[in-house]
Amino acid sequence: MRCLYGIEQPPSDTYLRERLDEIEPQQLRKAFTGLFSALQRGKGLEGFAYLDDHYLLSIDGTGYFSSSQIHCEQCCEKHHRDGHTTLLSPNARCRAGQPG
């Protein structure tokens, strides 16, 4: 994460596993399949093929827009310790790369 995204203090491996363990892979399947198919059809992955035409992709889910008042049906809620709620518009970012 430090090299790919410039994050100076990335979260620990344990922290990431604890967060990801809560997510069922089936919840991500439809979004991943749609994104991957669109990239293949548009030939957006051709330059990143390696090792028997496989790809290395780093995918990050993020809140692209946040507000305490404006929201849509797809918004995620982030509940803060002080009791207020932030509404996040979901967005996934993907970065293809090659090892080395």
The model's pLDDT over 23-44, given as tens digits with 9 standing for 90+, comes to 888 888 898 899 889 988 998 8
Q: Is residue 70 part of a domain?
A: yes
CA 13/CA 43 separation, integer angstroms? 33
Q: Is residue 4 part of a domain?
A: no
Percent of the chain's residues with pLDDT above 90: 6
Chain mean pLDDT for the chain: 76
Domain around 56: 11-97
* pLDDT value at 84 more than 80: yes
Q: Is residue 15 part of a domain?
A: yes
* Paired tokens of 56: 């290395």
* pLDDT value at 5 more than 80: no
> Does the predicted TM-score (pTM) go above 0.85?
no
- Residue 74: count other Cβ atoms within 10 Å of its Cβ: 8
DSSP 68: S
* pLDDT value at 46 more than 60: yes
